Amino acid sequence: MSSPRILVVDDEADLRELLEITLLKMGLDVDTSATLREARANLERNDYALVLTDMRLPDGLGLELVREVAASHKSTPIAVITAFGSAENAVVALKAGAFDYVTKPVVLEDLRMMVQSALRVSSPQPGQAGGGSSEPSRLIGDSPAMQGLRAQIGRLARSMAPIAITGESGSGKELAAREIHAQSSRIAKPFVAVNCGAIPETLMEAEFFGYRKGAFTGAAEERDGFFQAANGGTLLLDEVADLPLPMQVKLLRAIQERRVRKIGATAEEPVDVRIISATHQDLARCVEQGKFRQDLFYRLNVIELALPPLRERLDDLPVLCEAILAKLAGQGKASLGPGVLDALRAYSFPGNVRELENVLERALAFANDGVIEVQDLSLKAARVAEAPAVQEVAAPPPVAPEPQPVSAPEAVPSSAAPSNAAPALGPDELPSNLPEYLNQVERDIVLRALNQTQFNRTQAASLLGISLRQLRYTMQKLDIHAPEP
């Protein structure tokens, strides 16, 4: 079997030779071109496992070649060589469809790492997706929005370009990131998801970059950080807007240099990690407000993937419900009774698919024989957008589903009004239902904090000593919503 063939396009004879020798030593076949014209002629004649081009060539820009290869040689990854410090060029090339980049002066170790990962893309091993997974997507939904999203993910999985996933809470950002990883040539390596909002600021550097034994009190053993753990794979920076500014500087450096230094270490170590970030916040706004560094935003936001909220793709409800019920029921049976889909359609799902999962799980607990009826849904009446006038509801249930019978003790679950406090217990008294009692206590405290802060969730979370994300989950779990403006 012949070796994979690489095309090197560079007008600097010295660099061309260095690249050629390095690639030959890796057991690869190499063609070289000094101009765009020669490169085009080579591309006509041969199939390449990778094209590596300089950005500035005597007869044009490497970027032109990136666009041509991305359009006409879709299965050939193309990487660019950019001048050191010209982050802009790298980002422009990635946006134009480049698979990856290396900076000048070329560090051979980085080059080898990049080439290996390109080769995995152009000739996936059995069991590897390499950009064209035949596995069914985990992102369920047949709506045009979901079809478009899946197609976009298929394309994005083939490059190293950082992706910023945006979307409301529960809309599937983490799932989309996992899907990108699963469809990429990195599938055999780890996918590491980090909730940036849940790590105490003092521990961040150690968590991200690791530490050497004895680096600080308590560092009894050397430990890897998230970057080392994700080496060769994908690192999801979830809730990236929650990163404190000092950490943003360090992260930017790690992403730019592709090197990290453990706390207490003298040397940096190279890391080959694809970065995906996710947030439910408007990151551009955070930049305007000075909460997020512009340069990091620019680095992370090379390609944006926007997840639509569930209420904008209600046509996906039937397949989603079917998949969720199948998972919930296991060997048992679970189905939707008459009118249930209409009731769900009329709901706005502020918590998106995660909320749908919770609603169905709770409903199934109340359902008779696994058949969920409208009244089992206990959707928050206030959130039910105009319920359809005609519902194919068989029995007497009301148009808007009733409040939940068990876990929501007060009738206004989504209001900002303080809830009824959990009844005080005597020293020997026990609650008749512990989970329900604890929910009541938790709801009371969370509402108290929210009311004290005029529903400013960041402040409320800080009053309660939990992360914003934890607060969001708790609010969702307890059906607490900000009052409608």
Ligand X SMILES: Nc1ncnc2c1ncn2[C@@H]1O[C@H](COP(=O)(O)OP(=O)(O)OP(=O)(O)O)[C@@H](O)[C@H]1O
Site for ligand X in 220-239 (CB under 6 A): 238
Choice between 208 and 349, CB closer to ligand X: 349
Q: Which is nearer to ligand X, 67 or 354 (CB)?
A: 354
Minimum gap (Å) between residue 365 Cβ and ligand X: 18
Residue 354 makes contact with ligand X by CB under 6 A: yes
Q: Among 173, 261, 262, 299, which residue interacts with ligand X (rule: CB under 6 A)?
A: 173
Single out the residue of 184, 192, 177, 278 nearest to residue 231, CA to CA.
Answer: 192
**CB 138 to ligand X: min, Å:** 6
Q: What is the DSSP string of 172-184?
A: SHHHHHHHHHHHS
The distance between the two most distant Cα atoms of the chain, rounded to a whole number of Å, is 87
Among 61, 48, 42, 69, which Cα is nearest to 3's?
48
In whole angstroms, what is the distance from residue 74 CA to residue 97 CA? Answer: 10
415 lines the binding site for ligand X (CB under 6 A): no
Give the single-character DSSP code of 163.
E
Query: Which residue number, 54 or 316, has a Cβ lying nearer to ligand X?
Result: 316
Residues in CB range of 471: below 8 A, 6 or more apart: 446, 457, 460, 461, 464
Q: Which of 336, 353, 381, 408 binds ligand X (CB under 6 A)?
A: 353
Q: Which amino acid is at 477?
A: K
* Binding status of residue 167 toward ligand X by CB under 6 A: yes
Compute the least distance from the CB of residue 353 to ligand X, in Å: 3
Site string for ligand X, 355-374 (x = CB under 6 A): --x-----------------
In the complex with ligand X, the residue whose CB is nearer, 131 or 167, is 167
Does 474 participate in binding ligand X (rule CB under 6 A)? no
Contact of 90 with 299, CB cutoff 8 Å:
no
Residue placing its CB nearer to ligand X in the complex, 238 or 272 = 238
The minimum distance between CB 375 and ligand X, in angstroms, equals: 24
Write the CA distances from 450 to 282, 355, 453, 456, 484, integer angstroms. 22, 21, 5, 7, 14
Task: Decide if residue 174 touches ligand X (CB under 6 A).
Answer: yes
Map 188-237 to HEC letters: CCCEEEEEHHHCCHHHHHHHHHCECCCCCCCCCCCECCHHHHCCCCEEEE
Task: Say how far apart CA 268 and CA 165 lie, in whole Å.
Answer: 29
Asked if residue 306 binds ligand X (CB under 6 A), the reply is no
**Rounded Cα–Cα distance for residues 75 and 72 (Å):** 9
Nearer to ligand X, 162 or 210 (CB): 162
**Per rule CB under 6 A, is residue 171 in the interface with ligand X?**
yes
> Between 76 and 352, whose beta carbon lies closer to ligand X?
352
What are phi and psi for residue 175, nearest 5 degrees?
A: -60, -40
Contacting ligand X (CB under 6 A), which of 4, 77, 130, 170?
Answer: 170
* Minimum CB–partner distance for residue 116 and ligand X (Å): 30
Alpha-carbon span 99 to 107, nearest angstrom: 18
Tokens for 405? 């019978």
Using CB positions, name the residue nearest to ligand X: 172
In the complex, the smallest distance separating the C-beta of residue 174 from ligand X, rounded to whole angstroms, is 3
Should residue 262 be labelled a site residue for ligand X when binding is judged by CB under 6 A? no
Based on CB atoms, which residue is closest to ligand X, 343 or 360?
360
Nearest alpha carbon to residue 206 among 219, 193, 194, 195: 219
One residue of 175, 328, 445, 464 binding ligand X per CB under 6 A: 175
For residue 150, what are the β-bridge partners? none
Which has the closest alpha carbon to 377: 414, 339, 340?
A: 340
Least distance CB 415 / ligand X (angstroms): 22
Q: Quick one: 252 or 278, whose CB is closer to ligand X?
A: 278
308 counts as binding ligand X under rule CB under 6 A:
no
Distance (Å, whole) CA 413 – CA 440:
11
Using DSSP's 3-state secondary structure scheme, residue 272 falls into coil
CA distance 299 to 417: 43
**From the CB of 310, what's the least distance to ligand X, in Å?**
8
Radius of gyration of the chain (CA): 27
Which of 246-254, 353-361, 374-382, 426-434 is the region at the interface with ligand X (rule: CB under 6 A)?
353-361
Contact segment (CB under 6 A) with ligand X among 168-176, 375-383, 394-402, 457-465 equals 168-176
Binds ligand X (CB under 6 A): choice among 169, 185, 248, 378: 169
Q: Which is nearer to ligand X, 146 or 254 (CB)?
A: 146
Which of 212, 477 has the CB closer to ligand X?
477
Residues 106-165 touching ligand X, rule: CB under 6 A, are 139-141
Instruction: Tell which positions 81-100 bind ligand X, by CB under 6 A.
Output: none
Q: What one-letter code names the amino acid at 331?
A: Q
Q: Which C-beta is closer to ligand X: that of 169 or that of 378?
A: 169
- The residues binding ligand X (CB under 6 A) are 139-141, 167, 169-175, 238, 278, 280, 353-354, 357
